Amino acid sequence: MAARTVPPMNAPASSVTVKVSAIDTTLRVGGMQANFLWKEKIEGFDNFKFGTWSLLIEHPSGRKLLYDLGARKDWENVAPGVGLKQMVDAGVVQGRSVERNVAEILTDGGVDLHDIEGIIWSHYHFDHTGDVSTFPTSTKLVVGPGTKANYLPGYPADPSAKTLASDFEGREVQEADFSGAVLQIGRFKSIDYFGDGSFFLLDSPDHAIGHINALARTHVSPSPGFIHMCGDSAHHPAEIRPSEYVPLPDTIEPSPVPRLHPNTCPGHVFSAILHNASKTQPILTFHDPFSERISDAKYRMIVDESQLRDTLIKNEEFHGAQDVFTVLAHDWSLKGVIDEWPKSLNAWKEQVWKASTHWKFLEDFEKASGGS
């Protein structure tokens, strides 16, 4: 089946790149019940094991940003309204641990935290917000539209809050405003953060109010390149793959299930998990486990289902572009393949990481493909 042509990105021309590094935040979740997050029940895919990436963005001027922080080391001290303890007690979340905060990781690596200009939250959920209080108050917090009105001042000032007041106190909280944005990259409303075409904030509702993606330029002409930071626009690569732009191929190389197929893998072994045998529809469909229990939209995991679907399609479009390398916050199929901080991701094209990791997530469905 021929792939659909990817819509043009129309990113502004620029000769400026930023350095992007992936930081393993040391969050480990040994298992989250798959049916808690997705509609589909797939044989052998009962628990979703994951960590969380933080992305360090370094501008040539010396300005530095972080996109997401993973979870705080003392995870038990998240706001009570998060309900993490209840999820752990109920077995929804299993085997969780956090060895170090991102601030510790950077400090141990020789980074002066005063050099971090800002922390970008993709959204307010505890496995992305980390512990902002471990950074100097000179480090501002950058959030998406509606975050201030819905999630500040945080707990304990607001006893029902799912954020912590300590993350906001004494620091600038800058809210991205896309309402008057004239810049559009792909179909994302965009803000040119540094003003030179090297790094953009992207409006990406509606997993959570204020959810934002980011796009970093890593290569310039004649062969441009970008890293797309997706946060939780999709929790698993199977929410955006396969797609009309990158259908499941007849032969997958390298094999995502080398125990069964050492070198190449026939695409048809995954036919049982495809929607209506379609090679162009994503395998997993995210759903909100709290939709019937939480009346307040600001605390749902899907604020607007149709708008979230549109965001997912925008992500499929970006991911289908050869010049874009997609990094989902919880895509642990990248672990062990990509370079991690203090090395950078900027050589993603030269190292062919996009091609080598594109179908690697299918390892999660080995049992459904015939494994045991």
**161's tokens:** 């809050």
DSSP 221: T
> Rounded to 5 degrees, what angle do the CA atoms 345, 230, 319 make?
75
140-143 and 173-175 as β-strands: parallel, antiparallel, unpaired? Answer: parallel
- Per DSSP, the three-state class of 85 is helix
Range with lowest mean pLDDT among 169-178, 212-221, 281-290, 337-346? 281-290
Fold category of 19-369 in CATH = Metallo-beta-lactamase; Chain A (3.60.15)
DSSP state letter for 131: -
pLDDT of residue 304: 85
Cβ neighbours of 305 (radius 10 Å): 14
What's the pLDDT tens digit per position in 132-182? 999 999 999 999 999 999 999 999 999 999 999 999 999 999 999 999 888
122 vs 132: CA distance, rounded Å: 14
Q: Give the tokens for residue 19.
A: 């350095």
Domain ranges of the chain: 19-369
* pLDDT tens, position by position, 201-227: 999 988 899 999 999 999 998 889 999
Could you give the residue ranges of the DSSP H alpha helices within the chain? 34-37, 84-89, 102-108, 126-129, 147-151, 305-320, 353-357
Q: How far is CA 291 from CA 161, 185, 295, 300, in A?
A: 18, 32, 7, 6
User: In which band, very low, low, confident or very high, does the pLDDT at 368 lie, cut at 50, 70 and 90?
Assistant: confident
Give the CA distances from residue 144 to residues 18, 119, 120, 131, 174, in Å, rounded to whole numbers and listed in that order.
21, 12, 9, 18, 9
Beta-bridge partner residues of 200: 192, 215
Q: What is the mean pLDDT of the chain?
A: 94
Q: What is the pLDDT of residue 1?
A: 61
The answer to whether 16 and 198 have CB atoms below 8 angstroms apart is yes
User: Whole-model pTM?
Assistant: 0.96
CA pair distance 66, 331, nearest whole angstrom: 18
